[in-house]
Structure formats: structure tokens, C-alpha cells
Amino acid sequence: MSPSTGWWDRLITPVDDELRREDGRRTFGLMELAVRVPWRRLGVARRMHEAVLADTTAERVLLNARPDVKAAQAAYRSWGYRKVGEAHPWEGAVLHDVMVLDLRGSGG
């Protein structure tokens, strides 16, 4: 994410300055990860997630997740994501959980 990103300003509760610090390389923003119904619960999302991040040099991954989609929430947590806040990612959007995955300790 760019150092000038306004993304962190969308959180409904401010976060620590160190968490919001961006330099253009620190954070990989995962914008969409969806699996069609027939292929759910087969490990497809996990494999796509791993493939997308395989070559990143970012320190962390940031994503928004709808809190009412329990299967996605469970998957993200099992992959190591932690909730750091809540945001309306775009005008008119429902409230999403903001989740971060630290890659520094995972060899990524």
C-alpha cells in the first residue's frame, strides 16, 4: 500500500501509528478471495491464498472480511489472520472486519 493511502482512515476506531505505517512495500492488500459454491470446503481458497502470496516480499497481508460470513472468518483465523479493527471499505458498504496476517515469522 502506498504511503499516501487513505485506507486506514476508513477504520471506525483509530489504530496505532505503527500499524498504519505504509511505505509502498510493507503491506500486500488482498482485495477479493472467493470460491464458487461447488468448490467450497475443498481447500481451494487456502491454495489460492498460498499461490497469491507465494512471491510477495511484503511484511504483512491486509484484508477486509464480512463478519457475518463465518466460514471465511474461520478460514482467515486458521491461516493466522488477526482482527485489528472494523471499517466501511467503501461508501455504503456494510461494516467489515479488518484483518492482518504477519508474514515476517512465516518465511514469507
The CA distance from 97 to 107, in Å, is 25
Of 8, 12, 9, 7, which is closest to residue 67 (Cα–Cα)? 12
In this prediction, residue 99 carries a pLDDT of: 97
Q: What is the DSSP letter of 104?
A: G
Strand order in the sheet with 27-29: 27-29, 60-65, 96-102, 82-87
| Structural domains in the chain (count) | 1
Q: Classify 79 as helix, strand or coil.
A: coil
Tell me the three state secondary structure of residue 87: strand
In a domain, 85, yes or no: yes
Give the span between the Cα atoms of 7 and 107, in whole angstroms. Answer: 26
In a domain, 56, yes or no: yes
Residue 81 neighbours by CB distance under 10 Å:
22
| Residue 12: inside a domain | yes
Whether residue 27 lies inside any domain: the answer is: yes
For the entire predicted model, the pTM comes to 0.89
Question: Residues 51-85: pLDDT tens digits?
Answer: 999 999 999 999 999 999 999 999 999 999 999 99
How many other C-beta atoms lie within 10 A of the C-beta of residue 43?
12
Looking up residue 98, the CATH number of its domain turns out to be 3.40.630.30
The pLDDT, as a whole number, for residue 20 is: 94
